[in-house]
Amino acid sequence: MFETLFSYPGVLRRHREGPLAAERAGYLEGLVAQGAARATVLRRANSCLWIARELQRWPREHRFRAAEVEALAAAWAAGRVAGGQAGAPRWPREQFRFAAFDFLKGLGRLIPPPAPPPGRYDAQLEEFIAAQRQGPWSSPATCENRRWHLRRFLTYLEQQGCALARLTAEHLDAYLAHTAQTWSRVSLRSVASALRPWLRHGEAQGWVRPGLADALLVPRIYRHAGLPLGPTWDQVGRLIAEVHGDGPLPLRDRAILLLLAIYGFRSGEVRRLRLDDLDWRRGRLRIVRSKSGRPDTLPLDPAVGNALARYLRHGRPESESRTLFLTVRAPFRPLSTGALYHVVQHRLPPAPAPRKGRGPHALRHACARRLVDAGLSLKAVGDHLGHRSPDATRLYAKVDLAALRRVALEDLGGLT
């Protein structure tokens, strides 16, 4: 392994004859197999050699805690700065710390961080989530969202020293006031959507006082406050047209943007696409809906199919992963929620605050409005978007009605 990285005899001898040579070579071979860039492997090789020498000062059975690894990283960074190899200690320390944790973990000489202590009400929370999963919260994404909100609320109660049995309406008001400092009205309504069924369940189980669910005050959401935001269809067309080039990044991003705009897919539906979901022979695309978990088979649009084919042939890195869209830099892995948001957000033109409607869901809204404007029925639009209820689709009709109302007012204004 070292022979492929180093050409100078002295450097090669230093790495080959240093301590833990076999372990270091195996670790570097694993990085290469993951597709890591040569510069990354060279940097890790130097870090691992320094770590291997440092390990000689410790007993063989010693396993390192996180604080000890931090101390090693600080010493490494200080040496790099003192030797003129780095201008500031931050990035050498960050890079070394990542390599040290990874290498020591592979050697079995890292003490894993302790698991967070179980919450006081974890058992009750999981019981509640399991009950809701059989009813209105059938989507895993909804369950995870509600669990996050409830954990946040229960953590707040712990910090305030308040047990569930002593919970009052004043505590609920205080929590909403605390959350409202940084959250919008719509977000606060999401909090209430998690808390109200939790409080009703707790009341039925005798965990909380009766009447708290009805005492929960929720801010009013004004009639058009929840209308979908996002670019117009013309803006979407310009956005996609500007993504051109033969590099891995534009090829991947163009395919993603077309999926979001033409099919109105949700972020998770795009991120979960796999190579097996593309049926090239029949010209079909398989997908699992995020909210219902229902599989759908859709016709493969020619423009989308061409973009996907170009990405697979010339843009997608070689990887054992069956996930369709991967990062463009090694180690290659499926896209995160934030990465997919960035694909859309940074390509949209600047907009004044508040900066809403600038992620993947904005293209879903644009797709829906385009279909409504084209005269399709709400049923057809809902089927295209994968809605389970016509009420979800009716929201986009409000957008169209708002536009019609503006036109009517302008015409009437000429008659008075």
Is residue 361 flagged as an active site residue?
yes
CA distances from 186 to 182, 189, 201, 218 (A): 12, 5, 23, 10
DSSP letter (8 states) at residue 334:
B
| Active-site annotation holder among 289, 358, 361, 369 | 361
Cβ density class 349-382: b for 16+ within 10 Å, e for less: eeeeeeeebbbbbbbbbbbbbbbbeeeeebeebb
| Beta bridge pairs of residue 285 | 278, 298
| Angle between helical axes of 248-263 and 233-241 (0-180°, round to 10) | 160
Q: How far apart are CA 212 and CA 204, in angstroms?
A: 12
Is residue 291 flagged as an active site residue?
yes
Q: How far apart are CA 287 and CA 399, in angstroms?
A: 27
290 by Cβ neighbours in 10 Å (0-12 / 13-18 / 19+) ranks as buried
Residues 287 and 273 sit within 8 Å (Cβ to Cβ): yes
Is residue 365 flagged as an active site residue?
no
| Active-site annotation holder among 146, 316, 364, 384 | 364
Q: How far apart are CA 151 and CA 147, in angstroms?
A: 6
| Angle between helical axes of 90-107 and 38-55 (0-180°, round to 10) | 70
**What is the CA 264 to chain-centroid distance, rounded?**
18
| Active-site annotation holder among 80, 149, 271, 387 | 387
The residue type found at 192 is A
CA distances from 291 to 62, 144, 145 (A): 48, 11, 12
| Active-site annotation holder among 14, 274, 291, 347 | 291
Is residue 62 flagged as an active site residue?
no
| Active-site annotation holder among 146, 149, 266, 289 | 266
Is residue 364 flagged as an active site residue?
yes
Is residue 387 flagged as an active site residue?
yes
The residue whose two tokens read 């670019």 is 231
CA distances from 279 to 193, 200, 261 (A): 39, 47, 20
Supply the residues annotated as catalytic.
Answer: 266, 291, 361, 364, 387, 396
